[in-house]
Copies of this chain bind each other. A is one copy, B any other.
Amino acid sequence: MTDDSCPYTRRFLQGRSRDALSKRERTLLEGLVGTVERFTAPHTILRRGDVVDQSTILIEGTVARVIYEDGKRHIVALHVPGDFVDLHAFALKRLDHDVVSIGSVQIGYVPHDRIQKVLEKEPTLARMLWYSTLLDAAMHREWIMKLEHLSADGRLAHLVAELWQRLDFVDLAGENGFSLPLTQQELADACGTTSIHMNRVVKKLRETGVVDISRGQVTVLDKQALKELGAFDPAYLYGQGPLKLT
């Protein structure tokens, strides 16, 4: 990825917006971002039920979408830089989940009236926005499959494999791993288990030489084993090939 484009949006759509959009459209995309904000400590950016008139694009760091139920926190989605975290709020207006920052993050806010203008006048860009929410849904479906099918070790392996792939799309993955500021409690919340059991699983995957997760750093020890354990097939990320526009 070259950096001839805006730092706020160049990672949009898995970094593929460069290929799919004209120079003019990219400029328009960049113009969507209004204010930019940084949080250095964990912060609840938006709450379930909030009625919003802007959406959030993640520029740097990690944010989670969470649903609290019965006093417990459930992570229903994780985002990497370039993700339009709550674009769905443009049409749905009301949020069905919280949006929380993890570690240090930088986010951009996109006012809904600017999105409205894009919808009216820029069909290609509008299509990209729709596409982005559909990718989100495809990831949701994969998570449902993972939760229905896999036991805790598989779920963690799948999560690691997915994040590694998604970070790789936007040039943020390392050769042997990536940095991940999630605590074991948060990994548990994303895998539908408890922190105690997640600790067992993390230990097991480390000892069996699959992946080492410690001090905010993920080191993949056996890529093949990781994929198999997590039943990971990246097809659902629709990452191969150019974005098709018809």
Contacts and interface: CB of A to CB of B under 8 A. Distances in A.
A24 interface: no
Given A74-B144, A76-B144, A137-B137, A91 B149 contact: no
Using C-beta atoms within 8 Å of the partner chain, give the interface range for chain A.
Answer: 35 or more
Contacts of A77: 141, 144
Contact of A96 (B75, B148, B236): B236
A231 interface: yes
Contacts of A72: 149
Nearest to A141: B76
Q: Which one of A72, A135, A141, A246 has the highest number of Cβ atoms from chain B below 10 Å of its Cβ?
A: A141
Contacts of A91: 127, 130-131, 134
A9 to B, nearest CB: 19
A69 B134 contact: no
Contacts of A127: 91, 119
Contacts of A65: 141
12 contacts: A49-B235, A70-B149, A76-B148, A91-B130, A92-B135, A112-B246, A119-B126, A120-B123, A130-B133, A133-B134, A140-B140, A148-B189
